[in-house]
Amino acid sequence: MGKKIIVAGLGHGGIAAAAILAERGFDVTVYEKKSEGTLGYDWTDIFAPDALRIAGIPMPDEDKYEYKEHMTFFAPTAKRSLTQRVPKDKLEIKMERKDIYAHLVSHAVSKGVKIVYDCEVTAPLTLGNRVVGIGTSLGDFQADLIIDACGINSPVRTNLPRSMGIEKCVRRNEKITIYRAFYNKASDKEVEAKFRVMLFAGGVKSVSWVASEDEHTDLLVGRFEEFSLQELEEYADFLRQTSPRLGKEKVRGGQFVEIPVRHPLSVMVGDGYAAIGDSAFMTVPLIGSGIANSLKAARMLADTVTNDKQCAFSAETLWNYQVKYYKELGAGLAPLECVKYLLLTLTPDELDYCFDSGMLNEDNITMTADFTSLYDLFKFDIPDLMLKGKSAIKNPQLLKKILGCGTEIAQVTAICAAMPKKWDRKKVIQWAKAYSKPFNK
Ligand SMILES: Cc1cc2nc3c(=O)[nH]c(=O)nc-3n(C[C@H](O)[C@H](O)[C@H](O)COP(=O)(O)OP(=O)(O)OC[C@H]3O[C@@H](n4cnc5c(N)ncnc54)[C@H](O)[C@@H]3O)c2cc1C
């Protein structure tokens, strides 16, 4: 048997990396707090199917997924809307979360991964600056490498020695609180926009969607603050005015959850430790999708681990994983957090103006399966830029905010490009500090 690897938490990236590593001869065990068959949420998710291929996972059976509906984005007053134009070959797939998990787990088990369910990971076990195992509700377990796939509030990441230089906590404005539930259909009338995404509806700084499915109506409400069930119910009533198909009877889901919407973790690795998925904040900061990025990162991590012929699994050898992640995804994702902050500073009137004046167009809201950076949304063609510029000049307050955001994007892009390519503890810590600075809001 090869070296021992523990995956803490059965996150998507963790289980995908586990499968590749087990196939390559490593002795891989996953420790998951939930019981077998209860993973995931009672709702569907959307992700880029190509990420499965990259992670070496076959496509699920055709009856397990369908292609996602185009989303229609509504301005705060709901007077203007823009519908995405996603080319057929860039469509994402929609799948039940439980089916995604079942698919990933059966693939991993077929490659030799062992899974221990009903086992809560409580903290890392460390020896000086090296992570050597995990403490769990079933006792301590040691390994040569710990892959942290425990999600946004991972007890592994948050309990690492401070000297490792890995961020522990997520600030309030770096995560979005989501309520999601499926409601009955209140009417059978055909709706024009099947997947309505509403920005700041009713003047509340939130993003919400109401998606009309055959069997039910899918409601999602996201805010950068906690909100109560009562507030949610009142808001749902407000949304029913423009989405009469949204019934009052909850048929599935109905849970508050958190998604990281921030720049990727500044230091993802340490001696004996690597973070993946939500634990390393791999979601797209503007929309919170994280499944595809986690699966792609699984391939990068597994290759880095396999290429470490001495099996040192040190910060130095694992650093290549972070370099690759930032090169392929992270450097494009981080600036999107600046756009998120821009959105949060806009007033509902300014957002309306962006829709009304043509500053925002269909391309700018078409987040396809390949969407990992701003460049995927802006075509940078001259007439479009001129229209955007003219409209912005007519609204000086808005222009000021956009220019401020542009400066931050340039700053973050430059810092990402300056990330040390080789591990040097001092340089990495210095870089991480500089990288985090623009986001310290
Ligand atoms: C409402 C909602 C909707 C979303 N929709 C989409 C979508 O449509 N498309 C998309 O790409 N992404 C979506 N995401 C984001 C996506 O779920 C994550 O980015 C992605 O799953 C990667 O996260 P993860 O698997 O690393 O972490 P998680 O999904 O948080 O998984 C962590 C795992 O670790 C386990 N765990 C946690 N703590 C412990 C512990 N102490 N001990 C043992 N086990 C532990 C958990 O039970 C879980 O199995 C959504 C998220 C939410 C909350």
Q: Is 260 in the pocket of ligand 1 (CB under 6 A)?
A: no
Q: Is 304 in the pocket of ligand 1 (CB under 6 A)?
A: no
Atom 26 of ligand 1 has which residue's CA nearest to it? Answer: 277
Q: Do 120 and 16 fall within a single domain?
A: yes
Q: Is 120 in the pocket of ligand 1 (CB under 6 A)?
A: yes
Q: Do 282 and 149 fall within a single domain?
A: yes
Question: pLDDT at position 31, please?
Answer: 98
Q: Is 156 in the pocket of ligand 1 (CB under 6 A)?
A: no
Query: What is the Cα–Cα distance from 321 to 327, expressed in whole angstroms?
Result: 10
pLDDT below 50 — which residues of the chain?
none
Question: pLDDT at position 295, please?
Answer: 98
Residue 72 lies in a domain: no
Q: Is 428 in the pocket of ligand 1 (CB under 6 A)?
A: no
Beta bridge partners of 5: 28, 145
Q: Do 248 and 269 fall within a single domain?
A: no
The domain tally of the chain equals 3
Question: pLDDT at position 369, please?
Answer: 66
The CATH number linked to 245 is: 3.30.70
Q: Is 47 in the pocket of ligand 1 (CB under 6 A)?
A: yes
Q: Is 34 in the pocket of ligand 1 (CB under 6 A)?
A: yes
The last residue of one of the domains, among 202, 225, 260, is 260
Q: How far is the CA of 277 from the centre of ligand 1 (A)?
A: 8
Question: pLDDT at position 192, please?
Answer: 84
Residue 88 lies in a domain: no
Q: Is 114 in the pocket of ligand 1 (CB under 6 A)?
A: no
Q: Tell me the best of 232, 278, 284, 293 to mutate to test the pocket of ligand 1, counting ligand atoms within 8 Å of each CB and taking the most.
A: 278
Nearest atom, ligand 1, residue 40 CA = 49
Nearest residue to 211 via CA among 231, 188, 182, 233: 182
Q: Do 402 and 302 fall within a single domain?
A: no
Residue 80 lies in a domain: no
Q: Do 139 and 285 fall within a single domain?
A: yes
Q: Is 149 in the pocket of ligand 1 (CB under 6 A)?
A: yes
* Cβ-contact 54, 19 below 8 angstroms: no
pTM of the model: 0.96
pLDDT digits (tens, 9 = 90+) for 81-128: 999 988 888 899 999 999 999 999 999 999 999 999 999 999 999 999
Question: pLDDT at position 373, please?
Answer: 85
Residue 373 lies in domain: 338-415
Report the amino acid identity of residue 26.
F
Q: Do 222 and 295 fall within a single domain?
A: no
* Cβ-contact 112, 18 below 8 angstroms: no
The CATH number linked to 57 is: 3.50.50.60
Q: Do 56 and 132 fall within a single domain?
A: yes
Q: How far is the CA of 104 from the centre of ligand 1 (A)?
A: 13
Residue 87 lies in a domain: no
Q: Do 58 and 145 fall within a single domain?
A: yes
What residues have CB less than 8 Å from 25, skipping those under 6 apart? Answer: 1, 2
Q: How far is the CA of 350 from the centre of ligand 1 (A)?
A: 33
Q: Is 335 in the pocket of ligand 1 (CB under 6 A)?
A: no
Q: Do 15 and 122 fall within a single domain?
A: yes
Question: pLDDT at position 334, please?
Answer: 97
Nearest residue to 197 via CA among 337, 80, 304: 80
Q: Do 25 and 126 fall within a single domain?
A: yes
Atom 33 of ligand 1 has which residue's CA nearest to it? Answer: 11
Q: Do 34 and 103 fall within a single domain?
A: yes
Q: Is 283 in the pocket of ligand 1 (CB under 6 A)?
A: yes
Residue 32 lies in a domain: yes
Burial class (CB in 10 A: 0-12, 13-18, 19+), 173: middle
Give the number of C-alpha atoms closer than 13 A to the C-alpha of residue 41, restricted to the C-beta side. 15
The last residue of one of the domains, among 260, 285, 303, is 260
Residue 36 lies in a domain: yes
Residue 86 lies in a domain: no
Q: Do 287 and 426 fall within a single domain?
A: yes
Residue 357 lies in a domain: yes
The last residue of one of the domains, among 208, 229, 260, is 260
Q: How far is the CA of 41 from the centre of ligand 1 (A)?
A: 9
Question: pLDDT at position 382, please?
Answer: 81
